[in-house]
């Protein structure tokens, strides 16, 4: 250990000024990176502002799209209604049955998305 | 300059930190079927990828027989087998969640299925862990055979669970229809007692609706019988499942008819004699 200290080159010990210059040199890439990044950000902001200002000038063309046409629902009219045609309980039941009927029609009885995965089970290392 | 630079860097780091903050919120969502199913699909894609890599490595090994190709083959086979365990495990978990979310399955049925599915999941988890101790290609081939044998019995459970899910749906619809029939019976009884309307036609429609429910139940039972008969030695288990599914479709058709009869009953109640 002491030999190491003796071997030290005292003539080349950097002065305070040299040290500062070294620190500055080390920081240079950070400044360059920050400068480039900042520059890019400014360019992007400028582009965004420019496009934003020009947006008002752009004439938007509204494409004609067909409006959804309601499908006619068949409603059987009762010509001679009974006293129960306006009964609250009957109307409520009618609504419930109609809802259930729709659920029955739209029910997914295949659940094909749940079919088991296709797996290759044969592993062999022979020709 | 330093202050500006540090301020700028703080702003930049804050904007970077802000993005990952939103991820834990999404992850905090509860674990349900939809999430389990997405996990399964993700793992399935991974498995397909690792399977094709295994095929390529296997071909290379069989052609060149070098140490490098052997090491590659070992590595890719191990990954593929691990992914296979994982995909089955995730699929079974998705099925478990579907069973939990399907109304119409009795608690007893649910508990039995949970127990069976959990046992299978445990097996595949342990098998995946055991793969780490495989040192040679022969070990991996033997491990692969083990999964293939196990999957024979797992497949039965898969099809029976799928059948139970579909049956559960049917039971739920039938229960709802039965409830509506009971309500209509009560209303018709009320009308009959008042005597201001003939109810015989409505009662006949109701009887027909009840008959359809019975037939639907019979078809559902037939489907369950088909599924219960699947054996591990059956080479085409999906064929039996398709037959059961067809029987359940017939069962559903009867439910649709019952529903249309209920509409007839209501139309009849609303019309004068």
Token pair of A25 as six digits: 């040199």
Say yes or no for a CB contact (<8 Å) between A82 and B272.
yes
How many Å separate Cα B180 from the centre of its chain?
29
Cα dihedral sign, B155-B158-B162-B168: positive
Q: How confident is the model at residue A91 (pLDDT cuts 50, 70, 90)?
A: very high
What is the DSSP secondary structure assignment for residue A122, as one 8-state letter?
-
Which sign does the torsion angle of CA B250, B252, B258, B262 carry? negative
pLDDT tens-place string over residues B2-46: 566 566 555 555 454 444 444 455 555 689 999 999 999 999 999
**Which of A27-41, B128-142, B172-186 shows the lowest per-residue confidence on average (mean pLDDT)?**
A27-41
Extract the tokens encoding B167: 């049956």
Residue B140, chain A, CB below 8 Å: the answer is yes
Q: What is the mean pLDDT of residues B165-182?
A: 97
The average confidence (pLDDT) of chain B is 91
- Output the pTM of the full model: 0.74
Residues 39-98 of B with CB under 8 A from A: 40, 44, 47, 51, 58, 61-62, 73, 77, 81, 84, 87-88, 91, 94-95, 98
Determine which of B74, B188, B266, B268 to mutate to test the interface with A (most A C-beta atoms within 10 Å): B266
pLDDT tens readout for residues A16-46? 777 788 777 777 888 888 889 888 999 988 8
| Residues near B29 by beta carbon (within 8 Å), at least 6 away in sequence | B35
Kindly report the average pLDDT of chain A as a whole number: 80
Token reading at A28:
């240079």
DSSP string covering B16-68: HHHHHHHHHHHHTS---HHHHHHHHHHHHHHHHHHHHHHHHHHHHHHHH--HH
pLDDT for the residue B19 = 47
Query: CB-hemisphere CA count at 13 Å for B272?
Result: 5
């Amino acid at each position: 250990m002491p030999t190491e200290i003796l071997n030290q080159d005292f003539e080349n010990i950097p002065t305070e000024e040299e040290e500062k210059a070294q620190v500055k040199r080390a920081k240079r890439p950070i400044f360059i990176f920050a400068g480039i990044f900042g520059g890019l950000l400014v360019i992007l902001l400028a582009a965004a502002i420019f496009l934003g200002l020009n947006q008002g000038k752009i004439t938007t063309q509204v494409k004609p799209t067909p409006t959804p046409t309601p499908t006619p629902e068949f409603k059987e009219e009762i010509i001679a209604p009974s006293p129960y045609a306006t009964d609250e309980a009957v109307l409520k039941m009618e609504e419930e049955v109609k809802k259930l009927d729709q659920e029955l029609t739209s029910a997914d009885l295949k659940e094909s998305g749940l079919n088991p995965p296709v797996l290759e089970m044969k592993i062999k290392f022979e020709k | 300059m330093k202050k500006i630079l540090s301020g700028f860097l703080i702003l930049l780091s804050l904007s970077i930190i802000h993005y990952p903050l939103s991820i834990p919120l999404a992850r905090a969502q509860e674990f349900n079927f939809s999430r389990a199913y997405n996990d399964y699909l993700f793992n399935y894609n991974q498995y397909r990828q690792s399977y094709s890599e295994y095929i390529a490595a296997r071909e290379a090994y069989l052609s060149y027989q070098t140490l490098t190709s052997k090491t590659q083959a070992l590595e890719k086979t191990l990954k593929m087998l691990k992914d296979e365990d994982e995909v089955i495990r995730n699929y079974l978990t998705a099925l478990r969640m579907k069973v939990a979310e399907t109304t119409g399955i009795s608690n007893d049925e649910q508990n039995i299925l949970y127990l069976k599915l959990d046992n299978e999941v445990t097996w595949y988890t342990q098998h995946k862990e055991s793969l780490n101790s495989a040192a040679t290609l022969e070990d991996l081939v033997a491990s692969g055979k083990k999964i293939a044998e196990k999957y024979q019995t797992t497949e039965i459970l898969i099809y029976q669970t799928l059948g139970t899910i579909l049956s559960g749906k049917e039971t739920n619809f039938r229960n709802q229809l039965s409830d509506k029939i009971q309500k209509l019976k009560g209303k018709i009884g009320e009308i009959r007692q008042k005597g201001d309307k003939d109810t015989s036609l409505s009662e006949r429609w109701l009887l027909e609706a009840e008959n359809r429910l019975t037939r639907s139940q019979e078809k559902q039972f037939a489907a369950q019988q088909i599924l219960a008969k699947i054996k591990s030695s059956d080479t085409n288990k999906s064929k039996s499942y398709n037959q059961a599914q067809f029987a359940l479709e017939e069962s559903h058709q009867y439910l649709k008819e019952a529903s249309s009869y209920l509409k007839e009953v209501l139309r009849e109640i609303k019309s004068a004699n």
